[in-house]
Amino acid sequence: MAMRRNRELTAFVREVVLPAGPDRKPVLDPARMLFRLHASRSRIHGWGLFAEERIPKGRRVLEYTGERIGEREAERRSVRPSVYLFRVSPVRLVDGVIGGSGAEFINHSCDPNLTARITTGRIWLKSLRAIAEGEELTYDYRLSTGVMLPCRCGAANCSRYLNRIR
Protein backbone atom coordinates (compact mmCIF):
# COMPACT_ATOMS: atom_id res chain seq x y z
CA MET A 1 0.00 0.00 0.00
CA ALA A 2 2.76 2.47 0.94
CA MET A 3 4.69 1.70 -2.26
CA ARG A 4 1.59 2.34 -4.39
CA ARG A 5 0.99 5.63 -2.58
CA ASN A 6 4.63 6.66 -3.15
CA ARG A 7 4.33 5.84 -6.88
CA GLU A 8 1.13 7.93 -7.08
CA LEU A 9 2.79 10.82 -5.26
CA THR A 10 5.86 10.62 -7.52
CA ALA A 11 3.64 10.59 -10.63
CA PHE A 12 1.66 13.57 -9.30
CA VAL A 13 4.83 15.57 -8.68
CA ARG A 14 6.31 14.66 -12.10
CA GLU A 15 3.12 15.16 -14.15
CA VAL A 16 1.33 17.98 -12.29
CA VAL A 17 3.58 19.90 -9.88
CA LEU A 18 6.84 20.20 -11.84
CA PRO A 19 5.28 21.36 -15.15
CA ALA A 20 3.97 24.42 -13.27
CA GLY A 21 7.31 25.26 -11.72
CA PRO A 22 8.99 28.67 -11.73
CA ASP A 23 11.29 27.73 -14.64
CA ARG A 24 8.33 26.91 -16.91
CA LYS A 25 8.66 28.62 -20.29
CA PRO A 26 5.61 29.55 -22.37
CA VAL A 27 4.72 27.44 -25.36
CA LEU A 28 2.10 28.95 -27.66
CA ASP A 29 -0.27 26.78 -29.69
CA PRO A 30 -0.69 28.54 -33.06
CA ALA A 31 -3.88 26.53 -33.70
CA ARG A 32 -5.53 28.38 -30.78
CA MET A 33 -4.32 31.89 -31.76
CA LEU A 34 -6.35 34.09 -34.09
CA PHE A 35 -3.65 36.79 -34.14
CA ARG A 36 0.14 36.64 -34.08
CA LEU A 37 1.37 36.69 -30.48
CA HIS A 38 4.63 36.03 -28.69
CA ALA A 39 5.72 35.39 -25.11
CA SER A 40 8.24 37.61 -23.37
CA ARG A 41 9.14 38.76 -19.88
CA SER A 42 6.46 41.02 -18.42
CA ARG A 43 6.75 44.15 -16.28
CA ILE A 44 3.61 42.91 -14.46
CA HIS A 45 4.72 39.40 -13.49
CA GLY A 46 6.99 36.70 -14.90
CA TRP A 47 6.05 35.89 -18.48
CA GLY A 48 3.37 37.64 -20.50
CA LEU A 49 1.86 37.46 -23.98
CA PHE A 50 2.27 40.34 -26.42
CA ALA A 51 0.55 41.25 -29.68
CA GLU A 52 2.73 41.00 -32.80
CA GLU A 53 0.10 42.84 -34.81
CA ARG A 54 -2.73 45.28 -34.19
CA ILE A 55 -5.84 43.58 -32.83
CA PRO A 56 -9.19 45.29 -33.46
CA LYS A 57 -11.80 45.77 -30.72
CA GLY A 58 -14.32 42.96 -30.18
CA ARG A 59 -12.29 40.13 -31.72
CA ARG A 60 -11.45 36.68 -30.42
CA VAL A 61 -7.72 36.64 -29.81
CA LEU A 62 -6.84 33.32 -28.21
CA GLU A 63 -8.52 30.25 -26.77
CA TYR A 64 -7.62 29.24 -23.20
CA THR A 65 -7.16 25.48 -23.22
CA GLY A 66 -6.05 22.81 -20.79
CA GLU A 67 -7.12 19.75 -18.91
CA ARG A 68 -10.67 19.90 -17.53
CA ILE A 69 -10.79 19.00 -13.86
CA GLY A 70 -13.15 19.07 -10.89
CA GLU A 71 -12.99 20.93 -7.58
CA ARG A 72 -11.19 18.17 -5.66
CA GLU A 73 -8.41 17.89 -8.25
CA ALA A 74 -8.14 21.69 -8.46
CA GLU A 75 -7.63 21.85 -4.70
CA ARG A 76 -4.95 19.16 -4.96
CA ARG A 77 -3.16 21.08 -7.72
CA SER A 78 -3.28 24.38 -5.85
CA VAL A 79 -0.12 23.34 -3.98
CA ARG A 80 1.93 24.10 -7.10
CA PRO A 81 4.27 27.10 -7.13
CA SER A 82 2.24 28.61 -9.99
CA VAL A 83 -1.46 27.94 -10.49
CA TYR A 84 -3.04 28.27 -13.95
CA LEU A 85 -6.64 27.31 -13.21
CA PHE A 86 -9.57 28.93 -15.01
CA ARG A 87 -13.05 28.32 -13.59
CA VAL A 88 -15.67 27.53 -16.24
CA SER A 89 -18.52 26.55 -13.91
CA PRO A 90 -19.14 26.19 -10.18
CA VAL A 91 -17.68 22.66 -10.31
CA ARG A 92 -15.35 22.59 -13.36
CA LEU A 93 -12.00 24.23 -14.05
CA VAL A 94 -9.46 24.20 -16.86
CA ASP A 95 -5.82 23.65 -15.91
CA GLY A 96 -3.67 25.51 -18.44
CA VAL A 97 -0.49 23.72 -17.34
CA ILE A 98 -1.60 20.49 -18.98
CA GLY A 99 -2.60 21.01 -22.61
CA GLY A 100 -2.52 24.80 -22.36
CA SER A 101 -2.48 27.08 -25.41
CA GLY A 102 -0.15 29.64 -23.83
CA ALA A 103 -3.09 31.79 -22.72
CA GLU A 104 -2.32 30.76 -19.15
CA PHE A 105 0.59 33.24 -19.27
CA ILE A 106 -1.67 36.26 -19.80
CA ASN A 107 -1.34 38.49 -16.75
CA HIS A 108 -4.05 40.17 -14.71
CA SER A 109 -4.78 43.88 -14.99
CA CYS A 110 -7.34 46.10 -13.28
CA ASP A 111 -7.55 47.91 -16.66
CA PRO A 112 -7.54 44.90 -19.04
CA ASN A 113 -7.54 44.84 -22.83
CA LEU A 114 -9.15 41.38 -22.99
CA THR A 115 -12.19 39.73 -21.45
CA ALA A 116 -12.95 36.05 -21.07
CA ARG A 117 -16.06 34.58 -22.69
CA ILE A 118 -17.17 30.99 -22.26
CA THR A 119 -19.01 29.76 -25.35
CA THR A 120 -20.10 26.16 -25.90
CA GLY A 121 -17.63 24.96 -23.29
CA ARG A 122 -14.67 26.85 -24.77
CA ILE A 123 -12.89 29.81 -23.17
CA TRP A 124 -12.17 32.66 -25.58
CA LEU A 125 -10.18 35.75 -24.72
CA LYS A 126 -11.72 38.63 -26.65
CA SER A 127 -10.41 42.17 -27.13
CA LEU A 128 -12.21 44.89 -25.16
CA ARG A 129 -10.59 47.62 -27.25
CA ALA A 130 -8.05 47.90 -30.05
CA ILE A 131 -4.70 46.47 -28.96
CA ALA A 132 -1.51 47.94 -30.39
CA GLU A 133 1.35 45.90 -31.82
CA GLY A 134 3.79 45.16 -28.98
CA GLU A 135 1.20 45.70 -26.22
CA GLU A 136 0.93 43.13 -23.45
CA LEU A 137 -2.34 41.18 -23.32
CA THR A 138 -4.16 41.30 -19.98
CA TYR A 139 -7.51 40.39 -18.48
CA ASP A 140 -9.19 40.74 -15.09
CA TYR A 141 -8.86 37.39 -13.30
CA ARG A 142 -11.89 38.14 -11.09
CA LEU A 143 -10.54 35.87 -8.36
CA SER A 144 -12.91 34.89 -5.58
CA THR A 145 -10.43 33.39 -3.12
CA GLY A 146 -10.58 34.50 0.49
CA VAL A 147 -6.87 35.35 0.66
CA MET A 148 -6.23 38.82 -0.73
CA LEU A 149 -3.55 38.57 -3.43
CA PRO A 150 -1.55 41.73 -4.22
CA CYS A 151 -1.85 43.18 -7.72
CA ARG A 152 1.17 44.49 -9.64
CA CYS A 153 -0.57 45.64 -12.81
CA GLY A 154 0.39 49.31 -12.40
CA ALA A 155 -2.88 50.58 -13.93
CA ALA A 156 -4.10 54.03 -12.87
CA ASN A 157 -7.27 52.39 -11.49
CA CYS A 158 -5.43 49.49 -9.80
CA SER A 159 -7.34 48.15 -6.82
CA ARG A 160 -4.10 46.75 -5.31
CA TYR A 161 -5.58 43.20 -5.24
CA LEU A 162 -6.30 40.52 -7.85
CA ASN A 163 -9.48 39.56 -6.03
CA ARG A 164 -11.00 42.91 -5.31
CA ILE A 165 -14.60 43.14 -4.15
CA ARG A 166 -16.88 44.34 -6.93
Domains in the chain, please, with CATH? 17-139 (2.170.270.10)
- List 119's β-bridge partners, or say none: 122
Which run of H or E residues covers position 104? none
Q: Residues 73-101: pLDDT tens digits?
A: 888 888 776 778 888 888 999 999 888 99
Whole-model pTM?
Answer: 0.84
> Which of 30-34, 37-41, 119-123 has the lowest average pLDDT?
119-123
SS3 at position 20: helix
Neighbours of 74 (CB within 10 A): 17
Answer yes or no: are the C-beta atoms of 153 and 141 closer than 8 Å: no
